[in-house]
C-alpha cells in the first residue's frame, strides 16, 4: 500500500468534531505509529535537523534521543519509552509539504509541529515561509496535541525565538507565542514551554501590557513530562516579575520573585540570586525596609547562599533603612556600578526617589501642618538632579502619594503643607470584599491540591510504609497492587 495514501486516509478518518483531547488520543493511536514506522529511514537526517542551536533544552532532547536509539523497536504503551522515541517521529520529506499545504493546523497541530521542525530545522531554510507557517500554526494550535510531541514543540519554540532574534524583531511572533502559551491548557494555569519564551520576547519588545494577558493567569500546574525543567519555572516567574516591574506593579513583582526564591530543591540557582537582588530593591521601594523576610518556605541552604551573593544589596538596604541621606549617598557612590552591572540600575534609581518620598511621607506622622520651608530643610535629593522640594511635594500630592493640600494665606506668606486624614471609604470596603473573595477561592484550590496530594502514589506509598511498621495491619505492597504504575498525571493526557 502506498504509505502516503494510507497516511492521509488515516488523517481524514479521524473525527475532528470531538473534544480536543479525543482528537489528540486518536492522533496518538492512529497517526503517530505510521510516522514511527516510516521514521527509521530518515533517522540520520532527523538527528541533524533537530539540533537547533539555541540552548541546552533542545540539545538535551537530541542527546537523549541518540542515547536511547537502540530501544527503538520496543515501542510500548508506557510513557517513558514513548518519550524517548518521540524525536524519531520525523516526517519524511514528501509528507512535510502535504501536511503544511493540505491540512488544517488547528486539527493536526502535532503533525504541523513535527513537519515544521523537520522542514525548517536547518539553517538554510526560507525564513519568511517559516514565519508564515508558524503564524498559522500558533494562531490555531491545540494544546492537547502539542503535549503529544513535547520535545518537538519545545524545539520549534526555540527555533521561533532564534529566528526572531536573528532578524532582531521580537515583536514579530509575539502574539502567536502568547496564543501558544495560553492554549496549552484550557484553564491557562499550566506552565508550557512557551511561557518563559513569550515573556522574554515581550520584555525585549517592551510589550508589557501584552505580557499581562498571560500573567493575569496564575500558574500552579507543572509537569516535567512536557519537556519542562526547573529553569522554565524559575525563568517564567522571574521574567513575569520583570514585566510587573515594567508596569510598576511592585507588589505583584515581589510575589512572583518570592515564588522564585522559594522554589524547592537544591542548590540555589543564579536566577534565584538575581531574584533576591530585585526583591531587596523592591521591598525598599514599597516598604522602606528590607528585613530579608524570605518566606518560610525558602530553605536554609538557599537563603544562606543568597546572602553571600547579594551582599552589596544588603549594605544598600541597611543604609536605606537607617534613613540618613548622607550615608545612603556614600553607599550609593560605592556600589551604583554594581547595580548597573546587574541590570538593576533603573530599579535602584527608583528606590532613591522612593527614599525621598518616604522621608516626606513620614512627616505626616509628626505634623498636621508644616511649612514648606521645614520640608526643604529636611529634604535631600541624593542624586541632585530631581525636581526641587516644592515641585517634588506637589508631584507627590498630584500622584496621590501624599494626602495633603498646599495652603498659603497670602501671596507673601509662607507656603504651608496641610496633611489630611484618610478614612475608610466605600471603595476600601469593596477592595476588602474582593480580597476576601480571592482568599476564599485560593482556599478552595489549596483544599483540592491537598486532596490530590493525599491521593498521589508517592504519598500513599509513604503512608503505606509507615502503616507496615510493626503493629500496622497492612503489609508492604499488600492491597495496593492495583496502583502500581499508576501516575495521576497520565490522566491529563
Partner 1 sequence: MSLETHVNSKLVDSLPLFELESHIQNYTGRNAIDRLLFIADRCAPLAKDALTLAIGSLKQTADVNRYEDAVERLHEIAPHDPRATIDTVWVDEVSKATRSTGDKLELELKSYKNNLIKESIRMGNSELGDFYFSIGDLSSASKFYSRQREYCTTHKHIEDMSMDMIRVAVYQQNWSQVETAMSRIDALPSKNSDIEPYLKAVRGLWSLAQSNFALAASTFLNVPVESLTHFAPKSRQKVTYTITEFVTVNDVAVIIGLCSLASYSRNALKDLLDNNANFKEILESEAHIRTLLDSFVLFDYKSIFSTLEKHKTDYMLDIWLADHVEKMFDRIRENCYIQYVRGYKRGYLDKMAARFGVSQDDVEKDLIALIESDKIPVRLDLENKYFLFKSADERADVYDHVMSIANTFERNGRLLLVNIGVLRGGLEINAKPESSGFELKKKALM
Bridge partners of residue 406, in order along the sequence: 417
Q: Which residues, 39 to 68, sit near partner 1 by CB under 8 A?
A: 55-56, 60
Among 82, 255, 314, 381, binds partner 1 (CB under 8 A): 255
Cis amide bond preceding 267, omega within 30: yes
Check if the beta carbon of residue 152 is closer than 8 Å to that of residue 119.
no
Instruction: Report how far residue 321's alpha carbon sits from residue 288's, in angstroms, rounded to the nearest whole number.
Output: 6
**Residue 383, CA distances (Å) to 222, 283, 332 in order:** 45, 21, 9
287 lies in the binding site for partner 1 (CB under 8 A): no
Residue of 445, 451, 462, 476 that binds partner 1 (CB under 8 A) = 445
CB of 346 to partner 1, least distance (A): 13
Distance of alpha carbon 198 from alpha carbon 364, whole angstroms = 44
CA Rg value for the chain = 29
Give the range of 23-31, 84-92, 229-237, 280-288 binding partner 1 by CB under 8 A.
Answer: 229-237
233 binds partner 1, rule: CB under 8 A: yes
DSSP 63-123: HHHHHTGGGTT---SSHHHHHHHGGG-PPPHHHHHHHHHHS-TTT-HHHHHHHHHHHH-ST
C-alpha cell at 473: 495491619
What is the grid cell recorded at 429?
470596603
Interface with partner 1 (CB under 8 A), residue from 6, 9, 224, 322: 224
Least distance to partner 1, CB of residue 168, Å: 15
116 closest CA partner among 76, 70, 147, 152: 152
461 contact partners, CB below 8 Å, separation of at least 6: 480
The SS3 assignment for 372 reads helix
Question: Count residues contacting partner 1 (CB under 8 A)?
Answer: 70
Minimum Å gap between C-beta 176 and partner 1 is 23
Near partner 1 by CB under 8 A, which window of 30-38, 120-128, 160-168, 216-224?
A: 216-224
Minimum Å gap between C-beta 218 and partner 1 is: 7
Among 263, 281, 335, 393, which residue interacts with partner 1 (rule: CB under 8 A)? Answer: 263
Quick check: 371 binds partner 1 (CB under 8 A)?
A: yes
- Closer CB to partner 1, residue 84 or residue 133? 84
325-354 footprint of partner 1 as x/- string (CB under 8 A): ------------------x-----------
Binding mask 403-442 vs partner 1 (x if CB under 8 A, - otherwise)? ----x--------x-x--xxxx---x--xx--xx-xx--x
Q: Which is nearer to partner 1, 247 or 416 (CB)?
A: 416
Answer whether 227's CB lies under 8 Å from 153's CB.
Answer: yes
CB of 422 to partner 1, least distance (A): 7
Q: Does 490 bind partner 1 (CB under 8 A)?
A: no
Report the residue from 35, 85, 159, 219 that binds partner 1 according to the rule CB under 8 A: 219
C-alpha closest to that of 199 among 241, 151, 248: 241
406 backbone dihedrals φ, ψ, rounded to 5°: -100, 135
Name the minimum Å distance from CB 251 to partner 1: 8
369 lies in the binding site for partner 1 (CB under 8 A) = yes
Q: How many Cβ atoms sit within 10 Å of the Cβ of residue 413?
A: 10
Beta bridge partners of 190: 221
Residue 50 C-beta-side C-alpha neighbours within 13 Å: 30
**Contact stretch for partner 1 (CB under 8 A) within 11-19, 90-98, 269-277, 470-478:** 269-277
Query: Contact 390/415 with Cβ under 8 angstroms?
Result: yes
The residues that touch partner 1, with contacts defined as CB under 8 A, are 55-56, 60, 191, 218-224, 228-235, 238, 255, 258-259, 262-271, 274, 295-297, 343, 362, 365-371, 374, 407, 416, 418, 421-424, 428, 431-432, 435-436, 438-439, 442-443, 445-446, 449, 452-453, 456, 489
Amino acid at each position: 500500500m502506498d504509505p502516503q495514501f494510507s497516511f492521509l486516509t488515516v488523517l481524514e478518518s479521524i473525527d475532528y468534531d470531538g473534544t480536543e483531547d479525543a482528537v489528540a488520543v486518536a492522533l496518538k493511536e492512529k497517526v503517530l505509529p505510521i510516522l514511527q514506522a516510516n521514521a527509521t529511514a530518515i533517522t540520520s537526517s532527523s538527528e541533524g535537523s533537530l539540533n537547533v542551536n539555541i540552548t541546552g533544552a533542545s540539545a538535551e532532547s537530541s542527546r537523549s534521543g541518540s542515547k536511547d536509539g537502540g530501544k527503538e523497536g520496543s515501542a510500548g504503551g508506557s510513557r517513558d519509552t514513548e518519550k524517548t522515541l518521540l524525536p524519531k517521529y520525523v516526517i519524511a520529506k514528501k509528507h512535510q509539504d502535504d501536511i503544511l499545504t493540505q491540512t488544517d493546523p488547528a486539527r493536526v497541530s502535532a503533525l504541523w509541529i513535527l513537519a515544521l521542525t523537520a522542514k525548517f530545522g536547518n539553517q538554510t531554510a526560507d525564513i519568511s515561509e517559516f514565519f508564515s507557517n508558524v503564524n498559522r500554526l500558533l494562531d490555531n494550535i491545540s494544546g492537547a496535541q502539542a503535549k503529544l510531541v513535547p520535545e518537538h514543540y519545545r524545539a520549534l519554540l526555540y527555533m521561533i525565538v532564534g529566528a526572531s532574534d536573528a532578524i532582531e524583531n521580537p515583536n514579530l511572533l509575539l502574539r502567536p507565542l502568547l496564543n501558544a502559551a495560553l492554549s496549552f491548557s484550557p484553564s491557562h494555569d499550566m506552565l508550557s514551554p512557551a511561557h518563559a519564551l513569550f515573556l522574554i520576547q515581550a520584555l525585549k519588545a517592551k510589550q508589557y501590557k501584552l505580557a499581562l494577558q498571560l500573567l493575569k493567569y496564575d500558574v500552579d500546574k507543572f509537569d516535567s513530562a512536557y519537556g519542562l525543567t526547573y529553569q522554565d519555572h524559575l525563568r517564567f516567574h522571574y521574567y513575569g516579575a520583570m514585566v510587573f516591574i515594567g508596569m510598576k506593579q511592585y507588589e505583584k513583582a515581589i510575589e512572583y520573585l518570592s515564588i522564585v526564591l522559594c522554589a524547592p530543591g537544591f542548590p540555589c540557582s543564579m536566577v534565584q540570586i538575581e531574584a533576591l537582588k530585585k526583591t531587596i530593591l523592591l521591598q525598599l521601594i514599597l516598604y522602606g525596609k528590607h528585613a530579608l523576610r524570605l518566606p518560610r518556605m525558602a530553605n536554609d541552604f538557599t537563603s544562606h547562599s543568597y546572602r553571600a551573593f547579594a551582599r552589596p544589596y544588603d549594605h544598600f538596604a541597611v543604609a536605606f533603612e537607617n534613613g540618613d541621606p548622607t550615608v545612603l549617598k556614600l553607599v550609593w557612590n560605592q556600589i551604583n556600578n554594581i547595580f548597573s552591572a546587574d541590570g538593576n540600575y533603573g530599579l535602584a534609581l527608583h528606590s532613591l526617589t522612593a527614599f525621598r518620598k518616604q522621608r516626606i511621607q513620614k512627616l505626616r506622622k509628626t505634623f498636621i501642618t508644616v511649612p514648606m520651608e521645614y520640608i526643604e530643610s529636611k529634604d535631600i535629593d541624593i542624586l541632585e538632579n530631581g525636581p526641587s522640594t516644592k515641585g517634588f511635594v506637589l508631584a507627590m500630592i498630584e500622584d496621590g502619594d501624599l494626602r495633603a493640600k498646599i495652603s498659603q494665606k497670602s501671596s507673601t506668606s509662607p507656603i504651608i503643607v496641610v496633611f489630611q486624614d484618610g478614612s475608610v471609604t466605600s471603595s476600601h470596603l469593596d477592595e476588602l470584599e474582593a480580597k476576601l473573595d480571592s482568599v476564599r477561592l485560593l482556599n478552595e484550590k489549596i483544599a483540592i491540591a491537598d486532596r490530590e496530594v493525599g491521593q498521589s502514589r508517592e504519598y500513599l506509598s509513604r503512608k503505606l510504609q509507615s502503616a507496615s511498621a510493626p503493629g500496622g495491619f497492612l503489609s508492604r505492597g499488600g492491597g495496593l497492587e492495583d496502583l502500581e504504575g499508576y501516575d495521576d498525571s497520565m490522566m491529563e493526557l
